[in-house]
Every structure is written in C-alpha cells, then in structure tokens.
C-alpha cells in the first residue's frame, strides 16, 4: 500500500526556519496537503495543493514540492507553532489517500 514518509520530529529555535519533509512515490503527480494538530484539537489545514495557504494561516507557513518530496517551511517559527504536522496525499490512482506518520515540531 502507498506510504508517505515524514521525519518523526523536528526541532528549531524561535525565529529560525523549520522544514518538514514528506516523501512519496506519487508526489510528482499528486498534490500534497499539510495539517497542523495541537494537543486535543482537530487538525487544521495550513497548506493545500502543494503551495497554497488558506485564509487565516500566517504567511510564515509555506509549501513546496519537487519530485518525490514535498516540504512544509515555517519561516521564523514561533512557540505557538509547536504541534504535530501531517502531510496528506493520494496514491497514483487518486482514489486512496494516506497521511504521513506525522512530525512533532518543537520550538525550543
């Protein structure tokens, strides 16, 4: 079955840039979506269709995708950005969707 691979954890100092990667064989053909989830809360979409930011999401969140790897970038990470981040994308058929295993972001 299709899989998306993320690093389990990412740490960054406040004000620095954090990058979370997501790897999958179908990413050259399929969009990636990124979610932020804080403890006890429902996930929130922070990036859709690889690079687009929903209204209300701070500009420090950005996304990119190249080949089989997509990247979520937080430019100037803040303590409030701590949480779990998940990438989400379908397999090559477009019918079966998967989440990456999640990356825990710590802003020290």
B/e letters for 71-101, b = 16+ CB within 10 Å, e = fewer, are bbbbeebeeebbbbbbbbbbbeeeeeebbbe
Q: Is 98 in the site for another protein (CB under 8 A)?
A: yes
From the list 10-18, 21-29, 44-52, 68-76, the region that binds another protein by CB under 8 A is 44-52
Q: Is 54 in the site for another protein (CB under 8 A)?
A: yes
Using DSSP bridges, classify how beta strands 103-107 and 9-12 pair: parallel, antiparallel or unpaired.
Answer: parallel
Map residue 79 onto helix, strand or coil.
helix
For another protein, the binding residue among 12, 22, 35, 63 (CB under 8 A) is 35
- Whether residue 100 contacts residue 8, with contact meaning beta carbons closer than 8 Å, is answered with no
For another protein, the binding residue among 53, 60, 69, 101 (CB under 8 A) is 101
For another protein, the binding residue among 45, 60, 69, 75 (CB under 8 A) is 45
Interface residue list for another protein (CB under 8 A): 1, 33, 35, 37, 42-45, 48, 54, 84, 86, 88, 95-102
């Amino acid at each position: 079955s299709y899989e998306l691979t993320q690093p389990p954890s990412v740490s960054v100092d406040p004000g620095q840039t954090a990058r979370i990667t997501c790897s999958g064989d179908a990413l050259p053909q399929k969009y990636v979506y990124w979610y932020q989830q804080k403890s006890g809360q429902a996930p929130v979409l922070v990036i859709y269709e690889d690079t687009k930011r929903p209204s209300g999401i701070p500009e420090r969140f950005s996304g990119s995708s190249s080949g089989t790897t997509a990247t979520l970038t937080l430019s100037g990470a803040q303590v409030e950005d701590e949480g779990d981040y998940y990438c989400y994308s379908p397999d090559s058929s477009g019918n079966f969707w998967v989440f990456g295993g999640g990356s825990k972001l710590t802003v020290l």
